[in-house]
A and B are shown apart, each in its own frame.
Chain A
Amino acid sequence: MPDAPMLEVDAVSRVFDVSRPWLQRVLAREERLSLRAVDEVSFAIDRGATLSLVGESGCGKSTVARLVVGLFPPTSGSIRFEGQSLSAARAQPALRRRMNMIFQDPYASLNPRWRVRDIVAEPLRAFGLLSGRDAIGDRVGELLRQVGLAPADGEKFPHEFSGGQRQRISIARALSSEPEFLVCDEPTSALDVSVQAQILNLMKDLQQRLGLTYLFISHNLAVVRHMSDQLGVMYLGRIVESGPAEEIFSAPLHPYTRMLLAAIPDLDMVGGRTPVAGEVPSPIDPPPGCPFHPRCPLANARCRVERPGYTPTGDVLVACHAVEEGRTSP
């Protein structure tokens, strides 16, 4: 099936138990508390494409990333990787090595006591892809060259590198098992802009050269626009708008997407943007109906009680009553 998506996520939810310890709960006569971090999220990523999830802190985007690589199982819904369910795919090393992850903080994601060559070679050894010191050494050298470092850097420890170089090491490690699918969770958020440009360019080059598929997680809309083919905008655990990135950026439909885009500082200095009132509500006790209604300029009685389904508008899916009803001004 060459045309089947590489990854299909279908109505996936993840609930975390955030109750206090049992004894305290019993003494205070409290109910169990649960937090619905991801709520019926669906999307599909084609081979060689980049899908980005964007949203503010606490919207569940990183939880989706962790669900997709199998760091924890979904509470409900299914994730299929190359047509196989993720739990079945994770059980086979041959499939498992084909997905990998790049984390946000290159200071925390590299073991400070390991030499770079061992860090990069770990997936090779773990999957038994190569044996023999020389073969592994050659491959590590090649991987380091691929991300713009020198093979001799393999002898060094992570602390000898700057943040951008460390992120290159994480990318080399992620690439060592020759994956086809990479989950990148805020890969440049900890980096300065000039270094961010280097890493984003490197990721695009590698995607073209190796035909990689990316799930890209970020809060930075400008970075997301630069990287994505497809886009999903998340709010309080739900995708509120998804579709081709260019369409959403040129004509955002959901009031939340419009608000996010308007909130970005304007580099052309035309000014006159309208900051939006309010903050993201607690995901432990989300508002009924549409989760965005308390901040939405278009909210009406229906939005307060009934949760919107997805309305297809061209290639874009939007979860908004106002868009569905054609209400565009309050």
Chain B
Amino acid sequence: MALLDVEELKVEFPTRRGVLRAIDGVSFGIEPGEVLGVVGESGAGKSLTGAAIIGLLEPPGRIAGGRVLLDGKRIDNLPPARMREIRGRQIGAIFQDPLTTLDPVYPVGRQLTETMQTHLKLSDADARRRAVAWLERVGIPAGAQRVNAYPHEFSGGMRQRVVIALALCAEPRLVIADEPTTALDVSIQAQIIELLKSLTRDHGTSVMLVTHDMGVIAETADRVAVMYAGRIAEIGPVRAVVKQPAHPYTEGLMGSIPWIERKVERLRQIDGAMPRLNAIPPGCAFNPRCPHVFDRCRVERPDLLDAGATRAACWLHDA
């Protein structure tokens, strides 16, 4: 059974000019120990999907439909106090900017012990011992001294290591990592991805990795979901999605990335831009930019259809 099941999730923002539907019927599952990558461009709804699962939607955003199940139990309708127990204990979170995740006025060790003691029954001494062990596990040398240091005394890469320790220290079964390496330099990014991979593998933790960087997904994820305008355009094993994309948007996205291994004279470009939430076209949201568009795409919205190795929301694959 899947560890996490998201069924027909819908997220809305009521505004003065009407309700904006930012996520419109997203469904996927994550198996125990699996890394699911979620990619898309800004505004595609990938971060909101993560926030909705973990119960951290910023008001006035709200879940307007669908269900989120963890281990077969619904978690999308829990009262805030129950959700707080799940957050940290069952689901850990890593965000893009380590400085806003860490509390600047407490030493990192205290933030770790507080998190662990909230969720696990531990004595002060045990919690402290574990905090030091976690700092060393995430590659912070001299953990015993650094445990008393404040977040500002760490560099960006080291801070993100602390954030990873914080997300994993209560041994959650699922980690939602939202752009965990976007704020970091490439050499540090490689270290952090490697760390996240090895720690989650050792603990059998499932990961939902949200990022705009296809390279990070290609190296890390088992499966990948490509989002466009609040829906999943394509989902499938990472190799299939990268090498033989079935959705024209995925194909365009892959062609537009400059690859380091080969040089092309011109990048493939998708003309235009993703539609705004208040102007999503009828039918398939990608139809105005799609090179293969035909009449049906303009009126009828496709759901995910079998497309060889992957599933793609595209009428080209309607058998």
- Interface residues, chain A, with chain B CB atoms under 8 Å away: 56-57, 162-165, 192-198, 200-201, 204, 219-223, 225-226, 246, 249, 259-269, 271, 273, 275-277, 279-280
- CB contacts (< 8 Å) of A222 on chain B: these are 257-260
CB distance from B138 to the nearest CB of A (A): 14
- CB contacts (< 8 Å) of A279 on chain B: these are 155, 157-158, 187-188
- CB contacts (< 8 Å) of B215 on chain A: these are 264-267
Q: Establish whether residues A264 and B253, one from each chain, have CB atoms under 8 Å apart when the complex forms.
A: no
CA distance A268 to B214 in the complex (A): 11
Query: Would you list 18 pairs from A and B whose C-beta atoms are within 8 A, ordered by A residue?
Result: A56-B186, A192-B42, A193-B214, A193-B256, A197-B257, A197-B270, A219-B186, A222-B258, A249-B263, A263-B186, A264-B190, A265-B213, A267-B257, A267-B259, A267-B260, A267-B261, A269-B218, A269-B239
- CB contacts (< 8 Å) of A260 on chain B: these are 186-187
B153 within 8 A of A: no
- CB contacts (< 8 Å) of B188 on chain A: these are 279
CA distance A280 to B186 in the complex (A): 11
For B185, give its contact among A225, A262, A268, A280 (CB under 8 Å). A280
- CB contacts (< 8 Å) of A268 on chain B: these are 261
CB distance from B217 to the nearest CB of A (A): 8
In the complex, which residue of chain B has the Cβ closest to the Cβ of A280?
B185
Q: Establish whether residues B270 and A194, one from each chain, have CB atoms under 8 Å apart when the complex forms.
A: yes
In the complex, which residue of chain A has the Cβ closest to the Cβ of B252?
A194
Q: Establish whether residues A271 and B219, one from each chain, have CB atoms under 8 Å apart when the complex forms.
A: yes
- CB contacts (< 8 Å) of B219 on chain A: these are 265-266, 269, 271
Between A249, A259, A279, the greatest number of chain B beta carbons within 10 A of the residue's beta carbon is seen for A279
B17 within 8 A of A: no
Chain B interface size range = 35 or more
CB distance from A83 to the nearest CB of B (A): 32
- CB contacts (< 8 Å) of A259 on chain B: these are 187
- Interface residues, chain B, with chain A CB atoms under 8 Å away: 41-42, 155, 157-158, 185-191, 193-194, 212-216, 218-219, 238-239, 242, 252-253, 255-261, 263-264, 266-271, 273
CA distance A225 to B216 in the complex (A): 19
For B212, give its contact among A57, A162, A193 (CB under 8 Å). A193
For A265, give its contact among B212, B216, B264, B271 (CB under 8 Å). B216
Prevailing SS type, chain A contact patch: helix
Q: Establish whether residues A200 and B187, one from each chain, have CB atoms under 8 Å apart when the complex forms.
A: no
In the complex, which residue of chain B has the Cβ closest to the Cβ of A205?
B266
In the complex, which residue of chain A has the Cβ closest to the Cβ of B40?
A192
- CB contacts (< 8 Å) of A269 on chain B: these are 218-219, 238-239, 242
CA distance A46 to B212 in the complex (A): 35
- CB contacts (< 8 Å) of A194 on chain B: these are 41, 252-253, 256, 269-270
Known: A204-B266, A269-B218, A269-B219. A264 touches B186 (CB 8 A): yes
- CB contacts (< 8 Å) of A196 on chain B: these are 256
CA distance A56 to B193 in the complex (A): 17
- CB contacts (< 8 Å) of A271 on chain B: these are 219
Q: Establish whether residues B185 and A219, one from each chain, have CB atoms under 8 Å apart when the complex forms.
A: yes
Q: Establish whether residues B186 and A195, one from each chain, have CB atoms under 8 Å apart when the complex forms.
A: no
CB distance from B7 to the nearest CB of A (A): 28
For A197, give its contact among B256, B260, B263 (CB under 8 Å). B256
CA distance A275 to B139 in the complex (A): 13
Known: A193-B212, A201-B269, A222-B257. A263 touches B187 (CB 8 A): yes
Q: Establish whether residues A264 and B260, one from each chain, have CB atoms under 8 Å apart when the complex forms.
A: yes
Known: A194-B253, A266-B215. A201 touches B273 (CB 8 A): no
CA distance A197 to B186 in the complex (A): 20
Q: Establish whether residues A267 and B264, one from each chain, have CB atoms under 8 Å apart when the complex forms.
A: no
CA distance A271 to B197 in the complex (A): 12
Q: Establish whether residues B267 and A197, one from each chain, have CB atoms under 8 Å apart when the complex forms.
A: yes
For A277, give its contact among B191, B258, B270 (CB under 8 Å). B191
Known: A269-B239, A275-B191, A279-B155. A57 touches B185 (CB 8 A): yes
CA distance A220 to B155 in the complex (A): 21
CB distance from A19 to the nearest CB of B (A): 20
CA distance A226 to B266 in the complex (A): 8
Known: A56-B187, A192-B212, A201-B267. A226 touches B41 (CB 8 A): no
Known: A192-B41, A201-B266, A225-B258. A266 touches B218 (CB 8 A): yes
CA distance A293 to B273 in the complex (A): 45
CA distance A269 to B243 in the complex (A): 10
For A221, give its contact among B238, B257, B260 (CB under 8 Å). B260
- CB contacts (< 8 Å) of A162 on chain B: these are 273
Q: Establish whether residues B258 and A226, one from each chain, have CB atoms under 8 Å apart when the complex forms.
A: yes
In the complex, which residue of chain B has the Cβ closest to the Cβ of A148?
B271
- CB contacts (< 8 Å) of B190 on chain A: these are 262-265, 273, 275-276
CA distance A72 to B298 in the complex (A): 54
- CB contacts (< 8 Å) of B189 on chain A: these are 263, 265
- CB contacts (< 8 Å) of B213 on chain A: these are 265
- CB contacts (< 8 Å) of B252 on chain A: these are 194
- CB contacts (< 8 Å) of A273 on chain B: these are 190
